[in-house]
Amino acid sequence: MLTILIFVSAFVLVHSGSSPHGESYLRSLSSRQKNEIPRDIIEDSLLDAVGLITKYGYPVEVHEVKTDDGYILTMHRIPEGRTSKGGNRPPVYLQHGLLMSSVDWIINRPDNALAYLLADAGFDVWMGNARGNTYSRKHATLNPDKSKFWKFSWNEIGYYDLPAMIDHILAQTGRKKLHYVGHSQGTTSFFVMGSNRKEYNNKIASMHALSPVAYMGNLKSPLVRMMAPMANTIELVTSLFGVNEFLPTSDFMTLASHLLCGEGSIFVPVCTNVLFLLAGYNPDQLNTTMLPLYMSHTPAGASSRQLVHYGQEHMSKRFRQYDRGVNNFITYGSLTPPKYNPESITAPVFLHYSDNDWLADGGDVDKLFKELGNAVGKFRVPMAEWNHLDYTWGIDAKRLIYDRVINLIWAFEL
């Protein structure tokens, strides 16, 4: 009963026009807490993607891309490195995970952030932002303050957003192919595209999935597991309230953090962030000095349906389209949603997974690996505690992940 209450209250959405950002996070701290944060971390907490990239000495461009269904997305480009400039620079497209943004590829210092490392290794780096996040709350006709804007899951991100951003990069660079790196939902949406927009496979020179999420039957995240059986009720609740952005209420956050982090946990920073509550965290790989910075830029916004669709994946153990219940027949012409087809993904794919990932379980990754049309390699991160968010924020991300990804990209370029 308690859990039902929690999850209903979670989705009784408090509507607010702006996404969480540095200022409001810093405002939530006491002055003693704030005094303990180094000045440059405070400074970075208040910068957006362009501000951060500029501060660290890299060139940056902002591009707007319109999807076929009218969403206007912001891309950030780092066309050159600090040490490597000019020349023939193959494009690499980075796509963030759920509740994250382009900032997560540059939030660490240049010696441990994938976008900077790629730029200095000789690539032309493009970072996407999915519809609904901080940088992509825009539509040709729909208003993000209205629920109609939020009627999408990662299915639409894969079907519309990724193709639009890929076409934009190829048009701007005059290339026929690019390399793709996705984290979490950035992999799910890629698999949607490779399955349902098959022609895009030919535009991918190589794909690198950091924490691949397609099958979720075995996922470990306690919060997602508890929410999953109520996925469709939650959808009902949200549609009753007419607002479809995922914005957990403070009651929900208090209860979820007590449940998952224990008594008094609301004072532990990671227990106040819904991203950590969903994905877990690994104390050994989390740089606590940097934590205020991560907290300032996430959660970066998503629709409730993105979470509901993941909950459905866990329940059905299938990788398939959004379950519309009684409306499935009208939308899909069948009682159950159509499956995606990993077999038809012909782009060369590398999967990077780990044992302690709350969202991408090894067994589920293995099932995907066997079904993919052109799976080239599968790598287990050689650290037992490596978790979902360590792929973007982990202290040893360069050594354990990025160096390998960069080498693989070169191997498929030369």
Ligand X SMILES: *[C@@H]1O[C@H](CO)[C@@H](O)[C@H](O)[C@H]1NC(C)=O
| Dihedral sign from CA coordinates of 125, 130, 133, 137 | positive
Query: Measuring CA to CA, which residue among 401, 84, 16 is closest to residue 211?
Result: 401
* Span of 275-283, 285-293, 317-325, 363-371 interacting with ligand X by CB under 6 A: 285-293
254 binding ligand X? (CB under 6 A):
no
Query: Measuring CA to CA, which residue among 237, 239, 181 is closest to residue 212?
Result: 181
DSSP state of 225: H
Nearest CB to ligand X, comparing residues 37 and 259: 37
**Closest residue by beta carbon to ligand X:** 287
- Cβ at position 78, least distance to ligand X in Å: 19
> Binder to ligand X among 6, 290, 389, 406 (CB under 6 A)?
290
- Cβ at position 326, least distance to ligand X in Å: 51
Nearest CB to ligand X, comparing residues 40 and 68: 40
> Binder to ligand X among 163, 395, 404, 410 (CB under 6 A)?
395
Query: Measuring CA to CA, which residue among 119, 103, 156, 152 is closest to residue 298?
Result: 103
109 binding ligand X? (CB under 6 A):
yes
CB burial readout 46-72, b (16+ within 10 A) else e = ebbbeebbeebebebeeeebebeeebe
- Cβ at position 112, least distance to ligand X in Å: 7
In whole angstroms, give the CA distance from residue 367 to residue 191.
14
The encoded tokens of residue 332 equal: 């899909």
250 binding ligand X? (CB under 6 A):
no
Q: How many residues bind ligand X (CB under 6 A)?
A: 5
Give the Cβ contact number of residue 82 at 10 Å. 14
Phi-psi region of 262 (alpha: psi -120 to 50; beta: other; left: phi over 0): left
- Supply the residues annotated as catalytic: 184, 388
397 binding ligand X? (CB under 6 A):
no
Nearest CB to ligand X, comparing residues 147 and 298: 298
- Cβ at position 399, least distance to ligand X in Å: 11
**Contact footprint for ligand X (CB under 6 A):** 109, 287, 289-290, 395
